[in-house]
Structure 1
């Protein structure tokens, strides 16, 4: 059954965000409905995750890929990798509707883009899914190590957030030691769990929440963390709130409850209303490490796979997130602008410089 479209505002959204291309992929025979967004390819081919979610309207999928692809452009620019920003959404329930035929047909649409889009992992897709897409196109990253890929990128994503947290602590407190610091991690998925492991290794006190109570309790017991109901996590008096699940958890309602000093996590699009919420955080003197800046470890892992780098080079590139985060936060404080604005300016400057070279 087709997913309805509420309006015809796609071109307006593309103009607003400066996108190059929005591609609709449809094949009723295999049940495929998908959208691919390419934001900017100045630095290189657009890379982006392929997520599979049961969107109620195509508008929701369009909004998702436009926002995420733009964020990927900025993430790649700030991380210093030679890739552009893209994203894709397959409309459907990945638990019941995903199959080889659908994924391979999607791979054919990716191939038709002539190398301008590279598909990678996202919500609802796995390295095995990337294998199916790879059967139809070479424009894939995040493949299993057995196929010459980089494997699971979650460890690098978690490591990047870990460096972002330490950099934020350094700017707020003058040292980056995690010993005795209190950190609330929202989301005990793959990245969240690995971040908790890193934090506990350095004797931070960790609170953990997850919408799946069994998962929350399991991870809390495994790492001797403190389980907290999801709705109560915003009110904890902690050094760091680390959102590692879905976006939009930092908003007018939750900021009013927050008692943390720092926000630094792996979730994309953490600020529900970027300008408004960033201003509220500044007024409360809560330091915010831009999400696309510190969660770039997964992107770096995929870039290393494409560039042929080894694991040690990937680890070294991920470690640069520490100094980049410090630079962004210092720029934010020195110029009295929101941290995401400081990060955006650095990204835009690099893209502008590369455009000059290409002329």
Structure 2
């Protein structure tokens, strides 16, 4: 395909995506949460105010995303994936974790299975013929998963909240735990309201023997052109009987990590966003140096970097987040685990770093 035709097709796809998000947002929720300190004038807000990119800067970023990608923005060889079977999952020991891709993790805790930010579709996009495409298939399909005790959601962006996945999970999942507004979106999509709990920052719930607490994050939300910040974003503290995990969701670096660490730390394992960063959007995604500092602020023991290895969402090489966080952790003596997709991880003692992204 020549370069001119490629630009025409990509521009057309971008316009179609914009139209799709616009029309989808016309029926989107417009909740009022007057009791939330985060909610003001019809929108949720961060504790720390940050600069919103101008129209011109946004257009430049989008142009670069379309036409100025680095040569290694996507893998040249297949990403290694360990296929999983229902029998393997059922036989796995309690306290086991599996990376399924991006920020989707399957946790086996207190005898139940939990999913974080389940995205199983081929693209993180409102359209399945345009937008960021997966580097690899999930290690297991939703139909093969055992019954799910709960789904934990951090926010409603397309690379964290997958409509098709929610539809497929609705019948086999007992609980959906979400930030304010995201739960309303699930109900709007047809999820049984009795299964949905939505929490504000610092609120907790007990489900399936776990204590789950929504904690602050510095980010934003929305799935269309008219619903920006109508739902809340959050990180999560996940406490089992003898394990404590932190799931970052998406966040820029801020002093909230230290506050979370003071209230809930130390953590056996932190599952930390490391990827899709750029100097042009420093307030909503962390650079690897900030990811490591956030892990230290939290009082984390082991660090497992997520939000990488599955989608091309930024302007860096696809493997760069792994290389940078691995080097930084080594310099600071921080134990880091980088499992392959589908690899079984013992949460209390994860496997040490393996540079699988350098293979091939």
Task: Tell me, yes or no, whether TM beats 0.5.
Answer: no
TM-score (norm 2): 0.36
More strand by share: 2
TM-score (norm 1): 0.36
